[in-house]
């Protein structure tokens, strides 16, 4: 096991303090690799000579100038690294690319050092990590060699958990970036489809594939995602998204949030994982989350489509030439799964697409009720012997809560949350709509700070997390005090924009409330008065930030949006009025003594 803290935050701090150099770190990692000898977590480990160009480049660069300066990482062996064979777990399929995958190039340009290519379930088909050929060996779980490591990104998870690298790239089509994270006490980022380019990735299901990230901490995951998540104009599946423009930012989580959780009857978890789920729910509630139990039938039904429907034909398409000419070169379980992809007809594909569209409509309505969803990452942690006895059935159970994510175009984050009584890691998955990636990471960070688990499979204590600026989730909280209150005439302007009431509270005791002349409807004006003010009843509504422009455009003079102080000392965006507004169109009536707009309305009736 690594004897040093391999989080990026720690390594970068040491580099910048001149306590460590990339050459020194890589020398130690190579010595550790030599001591390990044959390691089935790797298919190809780069030699000192192969690493030299990356190190030589960093010799002349200031550690402060690159966000991933000197950070060692691993690459799942279905992702291209220039001049190193890409096997996808099959020596017959292997080829040597001249150019690295787009994401790999971004990471190297940012200063990261590729240490090699990691083992996987052949052709990324599987969630168990047991479908590798004998020539490569099969990794053991980082905590218990008799347990499965999870797949298909088995080697990427194990090498990160053991501290051989700081982070690793995997891929995720049906859970391959989340299940191994759960089994090895890691963060597993399953990005929004298209956020990370798949150029230079051997496809499994091209319409559903994404590169995934394995990291030791949420901060590391956010830093890697920031570098890797660039739009690739040469990739047909790449999607353009600017988090800052969308009002999204990673940071300290919101103080108020609603989380959905399936009823326990739908978990399908074994006894140990059921205990872990209850504990995770309690931790989210302790962070200020309000739990909503939601029937997740549409999600589970969508999950079954992935392998029971025609999408397996995409896997067949990816290796069609090989499976038709040399089927015996495939792992038996891999062959059994992929061969079925040759059977579906075109009409089956359309039938499934229509069914998925209906399920997505239902699932999106489910997610709209909460800020984030919580589910088990997987339902159990099988032994290698259990997988050998039932290779297909166990794999299917493991994917119960992962298979639907990409089909439904959701973002997801596997978060480590504890250990079972057997000493094995347990984790949950936070998920939400597309491009909620930073919000999930922010909540994952809050759990990380609260739980303080060891780093991966090492005994190294997790470092204390520094304070960050507040997270931004693409919404704006708006303080309303009059006709926009729930049930009043203008409230529809909020609800029609997807607004959700998050608090009924009061302003600080520094305001006077007036009823302006004119109407209908009658309009209030809150005016700051530090000398003679009072607390006014208000509501806080949360709106998608991209709807604020049309809302602002509809606000009539003399009202506008500005900053309003609440009784807890927070300043929030809310209604204000311009100077001289109290006399415009006739004198305004001071209604402060009613305590709020509803009190004044009641007095009029």
Could you give the C-alpha distances from 58 to 71, 114, 191, in angstroms and in order?
A: 11, 13, 29
Mean pLDDT for the stretch of residues 503-532:
90
Whether 416 is in a domain gets the answer yes
Query: pLDDT tens digit string along 539-574?
Result: 999 999 999 999 998 888 788 889 999 999 999 999
What is the number of structural domains in the chain? 2
- Is 236 in the same domain as 294? yes
Whether 409 is in a domain gets the answer yes
SS3 content of the chain, % helix, strand, coil (to 5): 35, 20, 45
Query: pLDDT tens digit string along 438-486?
Result: 999 999 999 999 999 999 999 899 999 999 999 999 999 999 999 999 9
- Is 57 in the same domain as 163? yes
Domain boundary among 419, 451, 483: 451
pTM for the whole structure: 0.92
Which residues neighbour 30 within 8 Å (Cβ) at sequence distance 6 or greater?
A: 48, 51
Annotated catalytic residue within 10, 152, 156, 411: 152
Whether 122 is in a domain gets the answer yes
Residue 603 is a catalytic residue: no
Q: Which of 407-411, 516-520, 559-563 has the lowest mean pLDDT?
A: 516-520
Dihedral (C-alpha) 38, 40, 43, 47: value to the nearest 10 degrees?
-30
Question: Within a 10 A sphere around the Cβ of 340, how many other Cβ atoms?
Answer: 16
- Is 514 in the same domain as 387? no
- Is 180 in the same domain as 99? yes
CA–CA separation, 291 and 132 (whole Å): 41
What pLDDT is stored for residue 406 in this prediction? 97
- Is 417 in the same domain as 481? no
- Residue 584, pLDDT above cutoff 70: no
Whether 458 is in a domain gets the answer no
Mean pLDDT for the stretch of residues 142-152:
97
Is 70:25 a contact under the CB 8 Å cutoff? yes
**What is the helix (H) or strand (E) element at residue 117, kind and residue range?**
strand 113-118
CA–CA separation, 68 and 57 (whole Å): 13
- Is 428 in the same domain as 530? no
Cβ neighbourhood burial of 344 (10 Å; 0-12, 13-18, 19+): middle
- Is 288 in the same domain as 332? yes
Q: What is the DSSP letter of 476?
A: E
Tokens of residue 396, six digits: 């299917």
Dihedral (C-alpha) 179, 180, 184, 186: value to the nearest 10 degrees?
-80
Could you give the C-alpha distances from 318 to 52, 206, 211, 276, 396, in angstroms and in order?
A: 34, 8, 17, 37, 21
**What is the CATH classification number for the domain harbouring 482?**
3.10.490.10
- Is 235 in the same domain as 379? yes
Whether 421 is in a domain gets the answer yes
CA–CA separation, 273 and 427 (whole Å): 9
Whether 457 is in a domain gets the answer no
- Residue 233, pLDDT above cutoff 90: yes
Which residues neighbour 547 within 8 Å (Cβ) at sequence distance 6 or greater?
A: 497, 498
What are the E-state strand segments in 493-569? 500-506, 511-515, 524-528, 537-544, 559-565
Residue 76 is a catalytic residue: yes
Which residues neighbour 456 within 8 Å (Cβ) at sequence distance 6 or greater?
A: 142, 160, 161, 162, 163, 184, 185, 186, 216
What range does the domain containing 597 cover? 474-604
- Residue 367, pLDDT above cutoff 70: yes
- Is 150 in the same domain as 290? yes
Annotated catalytic residue within 2, 10, 76, 156: 76
**What is the CATH classification number for the domain harbouring 353?**
3.90.1300.10
Q: Which of 182-186, 266-270, 303-307, 394-398 has the lowest mean pLDDT?
A: 303-307
Mean pLDDT for the stretch of residues 358-373:
96
Annotated catalytic residue within 176, 197, 439, 508: 176
Task: Report CA torsion sign: 436, 440, 441, 442.
Answer: positive
Query: pLDDT tens digit string along 288-313?
Result: 999 999 999 999 999 999 988 888 99
- Is 150 in the same domain as 204? yes
Whether 456 is in a domain gets the answer no
SS3 544: strand
pLDDT band, residue 225 (cuts 50/70/90): very high
Cβ neighbourhood burial of 603 (10 Å; 0-12, 13-18, 19+): exposed
Whether 461 is in a domain gets the answer no
Which residues neighbour 151 within 8 Å (Cβ) at sequence distance 6 or greater?
A: 120, 121, 126, 127, 128, 129, 130, 131, 176, 179, 180
Could you give the C-alpha distances from 437 to 222, 349, 473, in angstroms and in order?
A: 9, 29, 9
What pLDDT is stored for residue 1 in this prediction? 40
Residue 360 is a catalytic residue: no
Beta bridge partners, 260, equal 292, 373
- Is 365 in the same domain as 233? yes
- Is 443 in the same domain as 481? no
Tokens of residue 393, six digits: 């059935």
Query: pLDDT tens digit string along 236-282?
Result: 999 999 999 999 999 999 778 999 999 999 999 999 999 999 999 99
């Amino acid at each position: 096991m690594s004897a040093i803290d391999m989080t990026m935050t720690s390594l970068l701090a040491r580099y910048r303090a001149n306590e460590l150099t990339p050459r020194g770190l890589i020398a130690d990692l190579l010595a550790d690799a030599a001591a390990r000898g044959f390691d089935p977590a790797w298919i190809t480990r780069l030699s000192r000579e192969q690493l030299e160009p990356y190190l030589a480049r960093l010799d002349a660069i200031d550690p402060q100038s690159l966000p991933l300066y000197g950070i060692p990482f691993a690459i799942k062996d279905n992702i291209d690294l220039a001049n190193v064979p890409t096997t996808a777990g099959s020596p017959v399929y292997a080829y040597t690319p001249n150019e690295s995958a787009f994401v790999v190039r971004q990471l190297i340009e940012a200063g990261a050092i590729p240490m090699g290519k990691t083992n996987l379930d052949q052709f990324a088909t599987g969630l168990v990590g047991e479908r590798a050929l004998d020539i490569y060996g099969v990794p053991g779980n980082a905590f218990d060699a008799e347990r499965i490591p999870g797949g298909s990104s088995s080697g990427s998870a194990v090498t990160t958990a053991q501290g051989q690298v700081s982070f690793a790239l995997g891929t995720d089509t049906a859970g391959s970036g989340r299940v191994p994270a759960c089994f090895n006490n890691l963060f597993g980022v399953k990005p929004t489809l298209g956020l990370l380019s798949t150029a230079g990735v051997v496809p499994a299901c091209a319409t559903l594939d994404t590169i995934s990230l394995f990291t030791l901490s949420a901060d590391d995951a956010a830093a890697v995602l920031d570098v890797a998540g660039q739009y690739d104009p040469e990739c047909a599946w790449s999607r353009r998204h600017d988090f800052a423009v969308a009002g999204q930012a990673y940071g300290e989580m919101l103080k108020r949030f609603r989380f959905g959780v399936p009823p326990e009857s739908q978990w399908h978890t074994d006894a140990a994982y059921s205990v872990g789920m209850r504990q995770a729910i309690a931790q989210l509630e302790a962070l200020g989350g309000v739990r909503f139990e939601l029937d997740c039938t549409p999600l589970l039904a969508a999950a079954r489509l992935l392998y029971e429907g025609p999408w397996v034909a995409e896997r067949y398409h990816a290796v069609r030439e090989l499976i038709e000419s040399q089927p015996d070169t495939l792992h038996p379980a891999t062959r059994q799964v992929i061969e079925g992809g040759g059977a579906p007809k075109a009409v089956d594909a359309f039938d499934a697409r229509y069914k998925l569209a209906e399920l997505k409509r239902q699932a999106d309505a489910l997610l709209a009720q909460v800020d984030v969803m919580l589910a088990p990452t997987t339902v159990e942690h099988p032994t290698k012997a259990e997988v050998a006895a039932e290779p297909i059935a166990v794999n299917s159970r493991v994917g119960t809560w992962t298979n639907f994510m990409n089909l439904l175009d959701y973002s997801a984050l596997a978060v480590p949350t504890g250990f079972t009584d057997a000493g094995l890691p347990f984790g949950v998955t936070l998920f939400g709509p597309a491009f909620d990636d930073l919000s999930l990471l922010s909540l994952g960070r809050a759990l990380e700070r609260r739980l303080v688990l060891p780093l991966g499979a090492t005994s190294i204590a997790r470092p204390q997390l520094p304070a960050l600026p507040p997270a931004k989730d693409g919404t704006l909280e708006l303080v309303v005090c009059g006709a926009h209150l729930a049930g009043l005439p203008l409230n529809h302007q909020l609800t029609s924009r997807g607004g959700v009431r998050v608090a009924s509270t009061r302003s600080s005791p520094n305001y006077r409330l007036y009823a302006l002349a004119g109407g209908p409807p009658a309009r209030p004006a809150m005016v700051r008065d530090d000398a003679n003010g009072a607390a006014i009843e208000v509501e806080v509504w949360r709106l998608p930030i991209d709807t604020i422009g049309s809302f602002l455009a509809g606000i009539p003079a003399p009202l506008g949006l500005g900053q309003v102080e609440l009784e807890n000392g927070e300043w929030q965006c809310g209604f204000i009025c311009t100077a001289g507004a109290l006399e415009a169109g006739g004198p305004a009536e001071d209604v402060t003594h009613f305590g709020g707009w509803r009190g004044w309305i009641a007095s009029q009736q």
